[in-house]
């Protein structure tokens, strides 16, 4: 596996791949890799001649400086994992090279960024769109792989690619979970063993909420039920930030699930200091 830190060198290498007639599958990450990330790399490997993975803890998408400071960084272990799944090029740039000067460009994604993660993490999707645009220019992928774990991010990237005509196919990939159902996340490493056991409540709540909705319980009632599940957990330092039932394409609020082709249930909660998100689709 090639390992490059310099954006120009990575760009030239990717152009060489292209000149050789090779298609490029791209997996952008922030590192601290787990099976969720590796599932994206494996899929990319199946569908392309070469796979490029990036590891960059992108400062512009963090609205909370503590979250950025505490984000796990495990480059050497990540390198070995990527090697083991046949990644061809690891691109891990330094902050100074990605942002030689503070960026001034601002994206606006309308309603897509005004709810859930966008509402609770101001500037987050602007940072995501900025870094993904830069990475697409550097890597020039044919296909780019994004996890449905970050469902809103996936929709934002689709919009970015459509509006800016990036010649990239965005491929959504299913959420990989731990045996108890907890969605894999780099942030799970920051949980204590007790918090790790409690964290499964996000997934359990989503599953139960899904069942209730499919059984005909109204969105309003299900939202009340979710609030009632989390209220007593405050004493265990578990705090619900939001639970939303949204249209699977536009993220508009859903009142009646049967008026939508796809509906996504999204949840964000703090377990101790660690903010976790998860989601489930209603009809697929």
Q: Radius of gyration (Cα) for the chain, nearest Å?
A: 19
> Per rule CB under 6 A, is residue 175 in the interface with ligand AMP?
yes
Identify whether the C-beta of residue 45 lies closer than 8 Å to the C-beta of residue 83: no
Per CB under 6 A, does 37 bind ligand AMP? yes
Known catalytic membership, residue 260 = no
Task: Please choose, out of 72-80, 182-190, 203-211, 229-237, the segment that lies near ligand AMP by the rule CB under 6 A.
Answer: 182-190
CB of 146 to ligand AMP, least distance (A): 4
Selected catalytic residue, list 34, 37, 124, 137: 37
Q: Is the CB of 89 or the CB of 222 nearer to ligand AMP?
A: 89
The residue count for binding ligand AMP (CB under 6 A) is 17
Rule CB under 6 A: choose which of 183, 226, 266, 280 binds ligand AMP: 183
Q: If binding is defined by CB under 6 A, does position 203 make contact with ligand AMP?
A: no
Cα dist from 254 to 18, 250, 264, whole Å: 44, 10, 9
Site for ligand AMP in 130-149 (CB under 6 A): 146-147, 149
The nearer residue to ligand AMP, 43 or 210, going by C-beta atoms, is 43
Among the listed ranges 28-36, 84-92, 115-123, 223-231, the one in contact with ligand AMP (CB under 6 A) is: 28-36
Only one of the segments 6-14, 36-44, 67-75, 99-107 lies at the binding site for ligand AMP (rule: CB under 6 A); that segment is: 36-44
Considering the complex, state which of residue 64 and residue 221 has its C-beta at the smaller distance from ligand AMP. Answer: 64
Distance CA 48, CA 237 (A): 44
Q: Does 56 bind ligand AMP (CB under 6 A)?
A: no
- One character per residue 265-284, x = contact with ligand AMP (rule: CB under 6 A): --------------------
Nearest-angstrom CA–CA distance, 36 and 187:
12
Residue with tokens 């799970």: 188
Among the listed residues 60, 142, 159, 186, the single contact to ligand AMP using CB under 6 A: 186
Shortest approach of ligand AMP to residue 217 CB, angstroms? 28
Q: Which residues are marked as active site?
A: 37
Residues that bind ligand AMP (CB under 6 A): 29-30, 36-37, 39-40, 146-147, 149-150, 173, 175-176, 183-186
């Amino acid at each position: 596996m090639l390992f490059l830190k310099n954006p120009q060198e990575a760009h030239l290498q990717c152009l060489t791949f292209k000149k050789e007639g090779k298609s490029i599958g791209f997996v952008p990450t922030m590192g601290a890799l787990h099976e969720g990330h590796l599932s994206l790399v494996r899929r990319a490997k199946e569908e392309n001649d070469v796979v490029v993975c990036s590891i960059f803890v992108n400062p512009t998408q963090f609205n909370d400086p503590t979250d950025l400071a505490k984000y796990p960084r495990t480059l050497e272990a990540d390198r070995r994992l990527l090697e083991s799944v046949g990644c061809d090029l690891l691109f891990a740039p330094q902050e100074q090279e990605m942002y030689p000067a503070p960026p001034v460009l601002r994206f606006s994604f309308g309603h897509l960024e005004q709810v859930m993660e966008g509402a609770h993490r101001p500037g987050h999707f602007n940072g995501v769109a900025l870094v993904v645009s830069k990475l697409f220019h550097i890597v020039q992928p044919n296909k780019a792989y994004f996890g449905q774990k970050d469902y809103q991010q996936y929709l934002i990237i689709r919009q970015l690619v459509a509006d800016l005509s990036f010649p990239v196919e965005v491929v959504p990939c299913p959420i990989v979970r731990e045996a108890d159902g907890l969605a894999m996340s780099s942030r799970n490493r920051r949980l204590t063993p007790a918090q790790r056991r409690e964290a499964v409540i996000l997934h359990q709540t989503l599953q139960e909420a899904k069942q209730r909705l499919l059984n005909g319980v109204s969105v309003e009632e299900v939202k009340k039920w979710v609030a009632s599940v989390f209220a007593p957990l405050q004493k265990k330092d578990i705090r619900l930030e939001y639970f939303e039932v949204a249209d699977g394409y536009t993220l508009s609020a859903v009142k009646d699930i049967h008026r939508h082709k796809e509906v996504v249930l999204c949840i964000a909660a703090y377990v101790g200091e660690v903010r976790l998100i998860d989601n489930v689709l209603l009809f697929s």
